[in-house]
Amino acid sequence: MREPILYEFENYWYAQGRDLVLDEPVSHPLFSGEALAGMLTELRGRLARDREEFRPESLNSPVADGIRSFLGEWFQRIDFPEHGISTTSDRSWAMFDEGGVNTLGRNLTSEEACLLRPWPKWLYVRRLIPEVRGKSVMEVGSANGFFPFRFAELGASKVTGVDVQARKHDSAVWANSILGWKNVDFVNTDFLVDFSIPAHDIVFVSEVINHTLCPMWAITRLVTLAKETLIIDTGVFESSHHALELSTGWSRSNGTAQMLSYQISDGLLVSFLKVLGIRANEIVKHVEAGAGHILYMIDTRGVQERRRNGEMKEIPVNQRRSALLQLTLPE
């Protein structure tokens, strides 16, 4: 990677691979050793209760049949406590992989992480999120609906879960038909191109932007959707240099593309937020050191206010319409 440079010309500075002003957001560890110990106790307690309280007859019930009708879709564990069942009550319903951030830094095994997912993530997220009581909250990339249900439990006035995969969306709608949250809605759409999605007070997005076609566009879009707070929980690589790396996964049997993933550097992500008009002191980073994982807590009240007042000096004039997503639709 090239070293960042600041060139000084007669009339302007040219910042290459860095910001003009090197002001850094405040940074904290994602969780302390003490918090981690508490989370592991809580999570292993949940797994122990799964075993102790398991009732085989719960697998022969209408709720179990509903879960089975979405077999292969349960990326997340959804619990139905009133029915004594969850989407991992039968191990074959769960989705097993390496477990990623839900291993809490490999302190849970992959199996534990996948049987619990995303409870481990929720335990660190819930300590960091602002008060949601009375707020509208949206999760972008809501999969089976786990986080919207948590936001509703915490008293959010209105919750929206957006997901592009129809079957994931349908599974969340079905789960809510059992759980009965009247203020939770799920929308099956692609947030990159669906401009009918309204702004919400708080927007939460976890492990999504790096899997989108255009992550910088995704971030641009998310900033327009968050009235007060944008929470971006994502894989990054810890470097102050500006870098974006594309990886793709392919089926070996038929050559079909299976996945697309970007690794964005922390430095580029923060600089891009600044280009959109967010100030360093409006971003707080929660870093899982050595894990390539940062949760960015972004206070968007200031940027929305400045945009309303036409204060956009951080955004070059040529990019302002794009940054504000000011569309011109055909007649």
Ligand X SMILES: C[S@@+](CC[C@H](N)C(=O)[O-])C[C@H]1O[C@@H](n2cnc3c(N)ncnc32)[C@H](O)[C@@H]1O
Angle at 268 between CA 265 and CA 271, to 5 degrees: 145
Q: Residues 201, 229: contact at Cβ < 8 Å?
A: yes
Q: Residues 216, 272: contact at Cβ < 8 Å?
A: yes
User: What's 5's DSSP letter?
Assistant: E
Applying CB under 6 A, the span of 44-52, 78-86, 158-166, 290-298 interacting with ligand X comes to 158-166
Residues 64-83, mask of contacts with ligand X (x by CB under 6 A)? ------------x-------
192 touching ligand X, by CB under 6 A: yes
Q: Which of 143, 223, 315, 323 binds ligand X (CB under 6 A)?
A: 143
Q: Which of 79, 163, 266, 288 binds ligand X (CB under 6 A)?
A: 163
Q: Which of 94, 208, 283, 298 binds ligand X (CB under 6 A)?
A: 208
Q: Residues 243, 268: contact at Cβ < 8 Å?
A: yes
**Tokens in use for 111?**
């199996």
178 touching ligand X, by CB under 6 A: no
Minimum CB separation from ligand X for residue 189, in Å? 7
Choice between 66 and 99, CB closer to ligand X = 99
295 touching ligand X, by CB under 6 A: no
Which residue shows structure tokens 């398991």? Answer: 54
Q: Which of 116, 138, 164, 269 binds ligand X (CB under 6 A)?
A: 164
Q: Residues 129, 202: contact at Cβ < 8 Å?
A: yes
Q: Quick one: how many helices (H) and strands (E) in the chain? A: 10, 14
191 touching ligand X, by CB under 6 A: yes
234 touching ligand X, by CB under 6 A: no
Cα(131)–Cα(125) distance, integer angstroms = 12
162 touching ligand X, by CB under 6 A: yes
148 touching ligand X, by CB under 6 A: no
Instruction: Using CB positions, name the residue nearest to ligand X.
Output: 141
What lies within 8 Å, CB to CB, of 146 at 6+ separation is: 76, 77, 78, 118, 122
118 touching ligand X, by CB under 6 A: yes
Q: Residues 46, 79: contact at Cβ < 8 Å?
A: no
124 touching ligand X, by CB under 6 A: no
Q: Label the pairing between strands 293-299 and 226-237.
A: antiparallel
Q: Which of 107, 110, 165, 304 binds ligand X (CB under 6 A)?
A: 165
Applying CB under 6 A, the span of 12-20, 82-90, 190-198, 299-307 interacting with ligand X comes to 190-198
User: In Å, what is the CA distance from 67 to each residue of 117, 142, 153, 173, 263?
Assistant: 16, 17, 22, 12, 34
Choice between 167 and 301, CB closer to ligand X = 167
Choice between 66 and 235, CB closer to ligand X = 235
The set of long-range contacts for 77-81, using a CB threshold of 8 Å and a minimum separation of 24, is 77/115, 77/116, 77/117, 77/118, 77/119, 77/146, 78/144, 78/145, 78/146, 78/149, 78/175, 80/175, 80/178, 80/179
119 touching ligand X, by CB under 6 A: no
Minimum CB separation from ligand X for residue 211, in Å? 5
288 touching ligand X, by CB under 6 A: no
Minimum CB separation from ligand X for residue 6, in Å? 35
Minimum CB separation from ligand X for residue 203, in Å? 12
Q: Which of 176, 212, 220, 265 binds ligand X (CB under 6 A)?
A: 212
Q: Residues 128, 286: contact at Cβ < 8 Å?
A: yes
Binding site for ligand X (CB under 6 A): 76, 118, 121, 140-141, 143, 162-165, 168, 190-192, 206-208, 211-212
